[in-house]
Amino acid sequence: MSSTTAVAADSAAAPAPAAAATGPSFNVYQYVVGGNSVLDALAIEAAVTPFLGEGKTLREVEAARAALEKTYHDAGYLTVVVTIPDQAVDSGEVALQVVEAVVDRLKVKGAEYSLPSVIKSGVPELAEGSVPNFNVLQAQLALVNRSADARVTPVLRAGSLPGTVEVQLDVDDQLPLHGSVDLSNRQTANTTAARLSASMRYDNLWQRGHSLGLTLQVAPARPSDARVAALTYVLPSGRGSDAWSSYWVHSRSDFASLSSAPGLGLLGNSDTVGLRYTAPLGANAEASQTLAGGIDYKNVQQTIKVADGSRSNTPIVYVPLVVSYNAALWGGQRSSALDLTLTVGLRGFLGNSDAEFQVKRSGAVANYLALRAGLQHSESFDRWVLAGRLDSQLATGPLVPNEQLVAGGAESVRGYLEAERSGDLGLRATLELRTPIYSPAGAASAWRLGGLAFIEAARLKTLQPVAPQRPEVSLAGTGFGLRLTAPRGLSLELDLARALVDGDSTRAGASRLHARAVWGY
C-alpha cells in the first residue's frame, strides 16, 4: 500500500466558505491518502484538490472522501471504500484512508457440465488476493458467458476477515449437445423430392469451449440423388471472442438427366476443405460487426454421362481466398443486416491453373474476383412485420459453376426448384409481409403460428455465354406461407408459390409447395 498527498497550489486561491457552513472551520492544505494500490496519484489528486483551501468544514472533508470513493468506483473498483480516520485537523493536513477489499475466497456453485477450475480461469480478475476491477470483470464474464449452454453470475458477500470479500460464481449450465433433424422437399432438377438431414454439435470439447459438428444429408427415396456430409470444428483463438474454424464438405450426386440437355446425366463429386479466422469488431446493445478471412480447397470431380454410356470428365482443383464482413443493427421496431463476401482466385496459388478453369468453363481463368453482397431490413408496425432482402453478385469474368450466383428454391425465388438458374452476375430481391404471431394456448405457450405473403424475383447474367446458354435469364414468384413452432423444438414451414416466368424446369403459372419440418434440441 502507498500514500498519496494532494497539496493546495495556492492557499489564498480558495476563498473561505460562508459563515452558514455547519461546524468549526479549519484550513486544509493537503490530503494524505493512505492504503491505495490501484489508482495512480494523478487520479487521486484530481478527486480531492477541489476541496483544498482555507476555512473548510467537515462538510468539505466528507465531500472529498465521497469524491475519492466515486473515483475508485468509476474506475471499476467497487469493493473499495474511503474513510475519514479520527485525527486532529489543526495542522492543515487531513488524512483519508482507503480500504481495498481483496478477494478472500473464490468458489463455484452449480456447475454440472463445466469444470470449476476452467470457470475460475476465465475470470482472473477474481483471483484470490486481488482487488477486482469490475470493468475488467464484466469483459471477462462476457467471454465466459458467450456459450448459450452456461450462464455464470458472480455473487459477492463479506469475507471471513475484515476488509475482504468472498465471491461465489453461480453457474446455470446444461449439456452442450445440440442436434436437429430436418425433412424437406428442397430438390434440384430431375431428382427425387425429399431431402433428409441430421445435425449434431457438441460445444464444450476438452472443457475449452471447442465445438465439433457433423451434418449428414441424403435423398431418402434415391440416395444417389444427394449424399452430403459436413464436419466443422471451431475453437477460441485465445484473443477475446476471436475464433478459428475449419470445415470439410463431402458431396456426391448422380442426376439422371439434365433439363437443358436430354439424354445426358451428371455425376457431381466434390470435396471442400476450409479454414477461417473470425474476429468480432465490436458489439453493443444496438449493433455488431464481424470480420472473417480464410482459404478454401475445392476439389470438384464432375462427369457428364452420355446416353450411349460414354463419359466426359471436367475435374478442377483450386484454392480461393475468402474475406467476409457482417454487420447488424437493431433497436425499437426495426433491424438491418449487411453481408459482404469477397472471393479471390490467384493463378499459380497452390496449383490454380487457367487450363483447368478453361476446361470447366469457357472463358474462365484462375485469376478472378467475385463479390457477393446481401442486405436485409425489417420494420414492425402493430405486430405486423414488413421485411425485404437484396442479394447480388459482381464478378470480373466468367466463373466456374461452383462460384456462380444461383436462383430458385425455398431460400431464393420460391415457386421453382432449387438452383434452377445461375449466372456470373445477378440480383435477387424478396419482399415479405408477416402477420402478427398467434399463440392459441396463451403467451406463455410454446405454440406459435404466423402467416406471410411474399413476392420474389431474380435477374442473372452469364458472361461470354456459349450456345445454348442465354446471356440473361430471370425468375419471379409470389405466394403465401405459414410458420408454426411447437413444444419440444418442433417447427414447420409451408410456402405455396406460383411461378410468374418460365424457368429451366418450371413453367410460368405452375405452383409449388415448399415444405420443411424441423425437430431440434
pLDDT of residue 261: 41
Cα–Cα dist 63/77, whole Å? 19
Cβ atoms of 461 and 423 closer than 8 Å: yes
pLDDT of residue 24: 87
pLDDT of residue 2: 58
Residue 215 shares a structural domain with residue 330: yes
Q: Which three cell numbers stand for residue 205?
A: 470439447
Q: What angle do CA 336, 403, 493 make, to 5 degrees?
A: 50
Residue 243 shares a structural domain with residue 269: yes
Residue 44 shares a structural domain with residue 150: no
Residue 26 shares a structural domain with residue 125: no
Query: Which residue matches cell numbers 484470490?
Result: 128
Decide which of 59, 79, 100 is a domain's last residue.
100
Please name the amino acid found at residue 63: A
- Give the strand pairing for 384-395 and 368-381: antiparallel
Residue 138 shares a structural domain with residue 92: no
Residue 300 shares a structural domain with residue 389: yes
Residue 131 shares a structural domain with residue 240: no
Cβ atoms of 272 and 289 closer than 8 Å: no
Residue 156 shares a structural domain with residue 183: no
Cβ atoms of 102 and 78 closer than 8 Å: no
Question: Is there a cis peptide before residue 223, judged by omega within 30 degrees of 0?
Answer: no
Q: What angle do CA 187, 188, 189 make, to 5 degrees?
A: 125
Cβ atoms of 55 and 118 closer than 8 Å: no
pLDDT of residue 521: 87
Residue 397 shares a structural domain with residue 500: yes
**3-state secondary structure (DSSP) of residue 485:** strand
Q: How many structural domains compose the chain?
A: 3
Residue 511 shares a structural domain with residue 430: yes
Task: Please give the backbone phi and psi of residue 75, each rounded to the nearest 5 degrees, phi first.
Answer: -80, -5
Q: How many CB atoms lie within 10 A of CB 297?
A: 16
Decide which of 131, 153, 173 is a domain's last residue.
173
> 246: closest CA among 235, 237, 260?
235
Q: Which three cell numbers stand for residue 497?
A: 408459390
Task: Per-residue pLDDT tens, the chain, 521 aa: give them.
Answer: 556 666 554 443 344 444 444 578 999 999 999 999 999 999 999 999 999 999 999 999 999 999 999 999 999 999 999 999 999 988 899 999 999 999 999 999 999 999 999 999 999 999 999 999 999 999 899 888 988 899 999 999 998 888 899 999 999 999 999 999 999 999 988 889 999 999 999 999 998 889 999 999 999 999 988 999 999 999 999 888 899 999 999 988 865 434 444 333 344 688 999 999 999 998 887 899 999 999 999 998 876 555 555 556 778 899 999 999 999 999 889 999 999 999 999 988 877 788 889 888 889 999 999 999 999 999 999 999 999 999 999 999 999 988 999 999 999 999 999 989 999 999 999 999 999 999 887 777 889 999 999 999 999 999 999 888 899 999 999 999 999 999 999 999 999 999 999 999 999 999 999 999 999 98
Q: 170 pairs with which residues across the strands?
A: 109, 153
Task: Give Dmax over CA atoms of the chain in angstroms.
Answer: 112
Radius of gyration, alpha carbons of the chain: 33
Angle between helices 58-74 and 41-48 (to 10 degrees): 140
Please name the amino acid found at residue 474: S
- The CATH number for 48's domain is 3.10.20.310
Residue 305 shares a structural domain with residue 160: no
> 257: closest CA among 227, 299, 225?
225
Task: Please give the backbone phi and psi of residue 134, each rounded to the nearest 5 degrees, phi first.
Answer: -75, -20
Decide which of 69, 100, 131 is a domain's last residue.
100
Q: What angle do CA 204, 206, 208 make, to 5 degrees?
A: 60
> 332: closest CA among 287, 288, 379, 376?
379
**3-state secondary structure (DSSP) of residue 340:** strand
Residue 344 shares a structural domain with residue 436: yes
Cβ atoms of 53 and 13 closer than 8 Å: yes
Cβ atoms of 179 and 173 closer than 8 Å: no
Q: What is the pTM of this model?
A: 0.82
For residue 419, the enclosing domain spans 177-520
Q: 459 pairs with which residues across the strands?
A: 427, 474
Q: Which three cell numbers stand for residue 418?
A: 432449387
